[in-house]
């Protein structure tokens, strides 16, 4: 994983990086949102930028 990461429990297995919820942001009502983030560096995320994001098994977009 990168140099800094916040608002999630982060793990990495090869090129797959997982961000799991924390006790305070794991349950969101309809219309609510949360923000997670990371600051990486070359070589820490399998040398490639993220291509896909998933939430609860469903693809999502960023923005």
DSSP one-letter code for 38:
E
Query: Can you give the pLDDT at residue 47?
Result: 54
pTM above 0.75, yes or no: no
Confirm if 58 and 28 have CB atoms less than 8 A apart: no
DSSP one-letter code for 43:
T
Binned average pLDDT, 10 residues per bin, the chain of 63 residues = 79 81 88 83 60 76 65
Q: Please state, in angstroms and as integers, the Cα–Cα distance from residue 40 to each residue in 37, 44, 61, following that order.
A: 10, 6, 19
């Amino acid at each position: 994983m990168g140099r800094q990461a916040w608002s999630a429990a982060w793990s990495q297995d090869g090129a797959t990086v997982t961000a799991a919820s924390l006790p305070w942001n794991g349950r969101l009502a309809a219309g609510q949102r949360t923000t997670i983030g990371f600051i990486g560096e070359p070589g820490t995320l399998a040398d490639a930028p993220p291509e896909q994001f998933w939430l609860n098994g469903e693809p999502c977009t960023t923005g």
